[in-house]
């Protein structure tokens, strides 16, 4: 699916300061096996996964989805229903159940409210989640005006809304530092959502993440991608000559774009604390294509501060569930939402400049064509992987060097699983 670098490295690595793939390979651990049937199918294991995922930050939405105070949306986050609401202070998030006897507070996917009133016995909460009314309540543990719904961490960076059930705020700050210069240049604050697509597919979430951390499959599955984009992870699977050609193209592009004052590669993989990682960098789509569209030409107005298209791709991921790509004309994010041990939701979202008008400045079908095509190809092969790995006789295979990030992800995941019992998980406040 998505095609990134250096999860295996998890340390600062300059893209153009040396051989890209050498950097990518350097920490590849050939002894890491792929996911086992137990890791992919055990219900008990999935419960453990949700605890790991509760500590991750996830990109949920864009501020343009909340145009007025009181606008709220309900999301699934690490197996929990959460409400994100805009209020006078900004944004708040809380778990979607009442403090009294736990009834679900918001039963619609979105709406606008001046307060949240529980449908069961009508306890009322303000837009920050503080209890405002609890008729006849004598509980010593509940205080009207003080008690609040279980809080979910929400952070807004350049118009993008991130949330986590239990992550430390400091881990977001470190990631935000990495992302901020790129997001500011693309002016994602002023972007808007052009549209989104959802797929619910069979398969454990790790099968999907495993797919998007490697591009070994790209040459086999994604002919359009190989035609349009000459990413190093693609060229390295084709031939050394082509990869060398890419490196030359990338070096020229890097110099040209740096002279324009546009942000360039030179980015890092970041893992401020062991349970978190994030990556962001900027590379050329290729020497000809300006963006990932059917023709390689722009399909929407320039976004952000760019005065001319430079054909760059800003690429980032935040933890194992969020992927973000931004081109000169549109942005794209993919979120994995693990639903059950054998079911995963994929939420694909496209962003364009906030003042772009659909039908006049862009067609959503053109903006979404590339990643929709690519993800559908991935979904087909992931289903086959799901079927094969379901065999009682399946034994985990070995990753190749071209799947170094997937191997890095599998190692990271197993470390989290091992450490889980030792990590002191802060309770929701």
Binds 183, which of ligand FES, Fe ion, none (CB < 5 to 8 A, cut-off by type)? none
- Report, in Å, the least distance between residue 101 CB and ligand FES: 4
**Minimum distance, C-beta of residue 140 to ligand FES, in the bound complex (Å):** 17
H helices of 6-103, where? Answer: 20-25, 37-41, 43-54
Burial call 377-402: b when 16+ CB within 10 Å, e when fewer: bbbeebeebbeebeeeeeebeebeeb
Q: In terms of CB distance, is 120 or 199 closer to ligand FES?
A: 120
- Closer residue to ligand FES (CB): 142 or 428: 142
If contact means CB under 5 to 8 A according to the sort of partner, which of Fe ion, ligand FES, none does residue 197 touch?
A: none
The verdict on 165 binding Fe ion (CB under 5 A) reads: no
Strand partners, 131: 125
Is the Cβ of residue 233 or residue 276 nearer to Fe ion in the bound state?
Answer: 233
Footprint of ligand FES on this chain (CB under 6 A)? 98, 100-101, 103, 118, 120-121, 123
For position 1 contacting Fe ion by CB under 5 A, the verdict is yes
Stretch that binds Fe ion, among 1-9, 167-175, 238-246, 340-348 (CB under 5 A): 1-9
Residue 378 binds which one of Fe ion, ligand FES, none, with CB within 5 to 8 A depending on kind?
Answer: Fe ion
Rounded to 5 degrees, what are φ and ψ at 290? -90, -25
Dist CA 225 CA 142 (whole Å): 56
* 214 contributes a contact to Fe ion by CB under 5 A: no
Binding partner selected for residue 150 from ligand FES, Fe ion, none, CB under the kind-specific 5 to 8 Å limit: none
The residue from 214, 310, 378, 403 that contacts Fe ion (CB under 5 A) is 378
User: Measuring CA to CA, how many Å separate 122 from each of 73, 100, 220?
Assistant: 20, 10, 57
Structure token digits, residue 69 = 């105070």
Q: Which is nearer to ligand FES, 89 or 135 (CB)?
A: 135
Question: Which stretch in 145-153, 294-302, 351-359, 371-379 sits in contact with Fe ion by CB under 5 A?
Answer: 371-379
CA 21 remoteness from chain centre:
23
Name the minimum Å distance from CB 381 to Fe ion.
8
Write down the residue that tokens 């009181």 correspond to: 70
Least distance from C-beta 123 to ligand FES, angstroms? Answer: 4
CB of 347 to ligand FES, least distance (A): 29
Pick between residue 98 and residue 323 the one whose CB is nearest to ligand FES: 98
Contact (CB, 8 A) for 254 and 264? yes
H/E segment holding residue 161: strand 160-164
| Binding site partner of 100, from Fe ion, ligand FES, none, Cβ cut-off 5-8 A by kind | ligand FES
User: Rounded to whole angstroms, how far apart are CA atoms 348 and 326?
Assistant: 13
What is the CA 313 to chain-centroid distance, rounded? 16
199 binds, among ligand FES, Fe ion, none (CB under 5 to 8 A by kind): none
Q: Which residue, 116 or 327, is less far from ligand FES as judged by CB?
A: 116
User: Binding partner of residue 371 among ligand FES, Fe ion, none, CB under 5 to 8 Å per kind?
Assistant: none
With H, G, I as helix, E, B as strand and everything else as coil, classify residue 210: helix
Question: CA gyration radius for the chain?
Answer: 22
Q: Helices in 117-239 by DSSP H: which ranges? A: 169-186, 205-212, 218-221, 223-228, 232-238
- Dihedral angle at the C-alpha atoms of 298, 63, 176, 180, nearest 10 degrees? 40
127 or 353: whose CB is closer to ligand FES? 127
The two beta strands, 131-133 and 124-125, are: antiparallel
Pick from Fe ion, ligand FES, none: which does 120 bind, CB < 5 to 8 A by kind?
ligand FES
CB 55 within 8 A of CB 96: no
Nearest CB to Fe ion, comparing residues 49 and 378: 378
Interaction site with Fe ion (CB under 5 A): 1, 378
């Amino acid at each position: 699916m998505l095609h990134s670098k250096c999860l295996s490295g998890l340390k600062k690595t300059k893209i153009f300061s040396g051989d890209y793939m050498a950097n990518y390979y350097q920490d590849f651990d050939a002894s890491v096996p792929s996911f086992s049937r137990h890791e992919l199918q055990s219900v008990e294991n999935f419960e453990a996964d949700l605890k790991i995922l509760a500590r991750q930050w996830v990109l949920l939405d864009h501020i343009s989805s909340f145009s007025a105070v009181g606008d709220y949306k309900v999301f699934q986050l690490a197996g929990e229903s959460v409400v994100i609401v805009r209020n006078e202070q900004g944004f708040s998030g809380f778990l979607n159940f009442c403090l009294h006897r736990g009834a679900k507070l918001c039963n619609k996917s979105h709406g606008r409210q001046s307060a949240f009133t529980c449908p069961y016995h009508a306890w009322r909460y303000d837009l920050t989640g503080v209890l405002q009314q609890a008729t006849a309540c004598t509980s010593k543990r509940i205080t009207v005006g003080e008690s609040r719904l279980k809080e979910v961490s929400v952070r807004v960076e350049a118009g993008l809304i991130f949330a986590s059930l239990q992550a430390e705020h400091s881990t977001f700050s470190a990631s935000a530092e990495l992302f901020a210069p790129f997001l500011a240049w693309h002016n994602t604050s002023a972007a808007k959502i052009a549209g989104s697509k959802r797929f619910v597919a069979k398969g454990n979430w790790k099968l999907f993440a495993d797919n998007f951390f490697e591009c070994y499959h790209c040459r086999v599955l994604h002919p359009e991608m190989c035609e349009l984009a000459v990413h190093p992870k693609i060229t390295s699977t084709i031939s050394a000559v082509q990869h060398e050609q890419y490196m030359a193209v990338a070096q020229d592009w890097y110099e040209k774009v740096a002279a324009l004052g546009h942000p360039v590669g030179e980015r890092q993989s970041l893992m401020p604390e062991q349970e978190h990682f994030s990556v962001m960098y900027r590379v050329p789509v290729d020497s000809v294509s300006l963006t990932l569209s059917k023709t390689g030409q722009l399909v929407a107005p320039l976004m952000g501060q760019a005065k001319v298209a430079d054909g760059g791709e800003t690429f980032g991921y935040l933890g194992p569930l969020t992927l973000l790509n931004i081109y000169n004309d549109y942005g794209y994010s993919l979120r994995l939402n693990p639903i059950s041990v054998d079911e995963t939701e994929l939420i694909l979202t496209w962003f364009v400049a906030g003042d772009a008008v659909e039908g006049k400045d862009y067609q959503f079908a053109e903006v979404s064509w590339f990643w929709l095509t690519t993800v559908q190809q991935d979904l087909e092969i992931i289903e086959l992987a799901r079927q094969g790995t379901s065999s009682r006789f399946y034994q985990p295979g070995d990753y190749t060097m071209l799947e170094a990030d997937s191997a890095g992800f599998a190692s990271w995941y197993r470390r989290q699983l091992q450490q889980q019992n030792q990590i002191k998980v802060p309770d929701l406040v």
